[in-house]
Structure 1
Amino acid sequence: MHMRTIDSLAEADLVALDGQAVRASVELAARVRPADLSRPTPCLGWTVYGLLAHMTTQHYGFAAASRGEDDLALWRLRPLGDDPVGSYRTSAGHVMEAFAVGGVLERVFPLPEFGSGVAFPGRQAISFHFIDYVVHSWDLAKALGAEVTFPPDLLDAALAVARAVPDGRARREPGAAFAPALAWSGGSRMDEIVAALGRSPGWPEPAGAVAVLGTASTPSSSA
């Protein structure tokens, strides 16, 4: 199968793939009931509520970045109020509307979470958002005991992004976006993607299971 890379995608294609990932996360969020908010997720230390709050905040942060807004305060964790699912749905619509503006890939996105004055080309910034919501959809599905499926072209693009994320010492630092990559010995394309980004495809591991790498039980805490 030909592997589509992010650089080979037209603007409409990349924005559409990102939108598919976001909509999948919205569909999963719609399944969340009050009792589910305290469930653990593959993101170490985060409950379903914490994951939704992070995802909501990131949507608003990326939307602001697409408009050239460089304010770290816009990336501070947002409370979800009395309707966490509704708050998440609103944030998802907001970022998809922001990314739908023509020429968005040619804009410069300030991403102050990476450091003061740090900015990325729109194509690269949206690829960050895209891979986050492919993986976060998986995170949410796992937490709910559900499944998430994506078409092959989306998984090809997501795997290309996952493989491009630098591995090594930086992934072991506190607050790293992803944990170190895990060995992958077969399974679905989605399994390969999450393993490349430090998630164990078998989460939650059976009691007494031994991880392939020492970080298998330490998924990302921030992305």
Structure 2
Amino acid sequence: MPEYAALITPAAAEFAGILRGIGESEFTARTPCADYDVRALLNHLLYWGPWLEAAGRKASPPESATGEAEAGLVGDDWLDALEKQTARLAEVFGTPQAWEGQTAFGGSQMPASMAGYMVLDEFVFHGWDLAKATGAEFAVLPEVADAVHAIALEIGEQARAMKVYGEEVVVAEGATTFERALGATGRNPGWTS
């Protein structure tokens, strides 16, 4: 939804702050994403970021000779590369136009709003994943929590079918909106390494 465009910049800022706190010694730390340690999650972000940027610009997706697992994108300049990528994504998806109409992603057409959802999810949920893995504090604005919760409910069934979200986790009665959003994506809000 184009109204979510205004939430991209604050979500990106919190995400970038988490990135700056990650040290190389934490690359092997487990994350709430069972398939990823910190290094693999950073690689995931670096791999898919250009695809999301192209989707937001309604441009041709990048060509890739390797899959995500083989890409090996976490080099000495990973932080600079990921900060610049985050800034570009925030610039693109911070405009309502990026959320409107149709776009291409992963070889198929989809509503452009889905690409926007993915960017907001990457910043917020993967930001939380990295924060939990490294012991950092993660702050979510109430309006961002409301948005990612609404997104998780809207696309949850499809995302679980595509293995993007895990099975829903039941959260405690009285859980915050963000904790409910985490549960809807298959994350345990109380996860510890």
| Shorter-chain TM band | 0.7 to 0.9
The AA in structure 2 aligned to 1:195 is: G
Alpha-carbon distance between aligned partners in 2 of 1:160 and 1:98, rounded to the nearest angstrom:
22
Residue 110 (str. 1) matches residue 98 (str. 2) = no
Shift of 1:94: 2.2
Shift of 1:97: 2.7
Q: Which has the larger radius of gyration?
A: 1
Residue 27 (str. 1) matches residue 21 (str. 2) = no
Alpha-carbon distance between aligned partners in 1 of 2:96 and 2:121, rounded to the nearest angstrom:
21
Alpha-carbon distance between aligned partners in 1 of 2:96 and 2:25, rounded to the nearest angstrom:
41
TM-score by length of 1: 0.75
Number of paired residues?
A: 188
Relative to 1, partners in 2 of residues 1:176 and 1:122: Cα closer, same or farther, differing over 3 Å?
same
Shift of 1:20: 2.0
Alignment of structure 1 residues 175-186 onto 2, 5 Å? 176-186=163-173
* Partner residue in 1 for 2:86: 92
TM-score by length of 2: 0.85
Range 140-149 or range 61-70, more displaced? 61-70
Residue 139 (str. 1) matches residue 126 (str. 2) = no
* Partner residue in 1 for 2:5: 15
Q: Which runs of 4+ in 1 moved over 6 A?
A: none
Relative to 1, partners in 2 of residues 1:120 and 1:75: Cα closer, same or farther, differing over 3 Å?
farther
Asked if the contact 1:80/1:88 (under 8 Å) is kept, the reply is no
Alignment of structure 1 residues 121-136 onto 2, 5 Å? 121-136=111-126
User: Unaligned 5+ residue runs, structure 2?
Assistant: none
Alpha-carbon distance between aligned partners in 2 of 1:189 and 1:46, rounded to the nearest angstrom:
25
SS in 2 for 1:203: coil
Relative to 1, partners in 2 of residues 1:34 and 1:53: Cα closer, same or farther, differing over 3 Å?
same
Alpha-carbon distance between aligned partners in 1 of 2:143 and 2:131, rounded to the nearest angstrom:
20
Residue 202 (str. 1) matches residue 190 (str. 2) = yes
Normalized per residue, the structure richer in helix is 2
Alpha-carbon distance between aligned partners in 2 of 1:109 and 1:41, rounded to the nearest angstrom:
31
Relative to 1, partners in 2 of residues 1:54 and 1:161: Cα closer, same or farther, differing over 3 Å?
same
Relative to 1, partners in 2 of residues 1:76 and 1:24: Cα closer, same or farther, differing over 3 Å?
farther
Q: Percent identity among equivalent residues?
A: 23
Query: Which protein, 1 or 2, shows the higher relative CO under an 8 Å CA cutoff with sep ≥ 6?
Result: 2
